[in-house]
Amino acid sequence: MTTTSTSTSGRLPTIHLDKSLVGRLEALASAMMRRSPQVGERLMDEIARAKLVAPGKLRDDVVTIGSEVSYRDLVTGRLQTVFVVYPENADIDQHRISVLTPVGVALLGLSPGAVISWITRDDETRQLEVVTVKPPVAG
């Protein structure tokens, strides 16, 4: 269930995070260490390498909590659209995925065109490419 972030060149893609979210994301990652250490560690790693941005200054095309993201699975070619949300708002029937899932961690902080590798819950390595990002709806 771990996430390995790489671009097609083998380098980690640049990620940006709203620094006002970091405290809550770190607390969630710490709590996740007991249930799923790989996901918790991956989220902590992503937070540590992110470029932190002042609240309200994050570009609209960067995946953050509440963003609507379309991504393509580069193995299957399937295009999927999801919302990245906090765990308490997750609802797979409404395409709301938790930031504490392997794909949620993988998407966080990315922009269109970014390619990332991640490991599914079934231990399968997949690559996805972010196609579009819509900012969270205010309110």
Q: What is the CATH number of the domain that holds 76?
A: 3.10.50.30
Strand (E) or helix (H) holding 48: helix 37-49
Residue segments in the chain with a per-residue pLDDT below the cut of 50: 1-9
Q: What's the pLDDT score for residue 4? A: 41
Q: Give the pLDDT confidence of 90-114 residue by residue, as tens digits.
A: 999 999 999 999 999 999 999 999 9
Please give the Cα distance from 89 to 83 (Å, whole number): 10
Query: Is 8 domain-assigned?
Result: no
Cβ burial 113-129 (10 Å sphere, 16+ → b, else e): ebbbbbbeeeeeebbbb
Query: Is 10 domain-assigned?
Result: no
Query: Is 77 domain-assigned?
Result: yes
Tell me which residue range forms the domain holding 108: 16-131
Residue 116 in tokens: 């990332």
Q: What's the pLDDT score for residue 121? A: 74
Number of domains in the chain: 1
Query: Is 23 domain-assigned?
Result: yes
- CA-based nearest residue to 38, from 102, 97, 84: 102
- CA-based nearest residue to 118, from 100, 106, 109, 129: 106
Q: What's the pLDDT score for residue 139? A: 54
Q: What's the pLDDT score for residue 10? A: 60
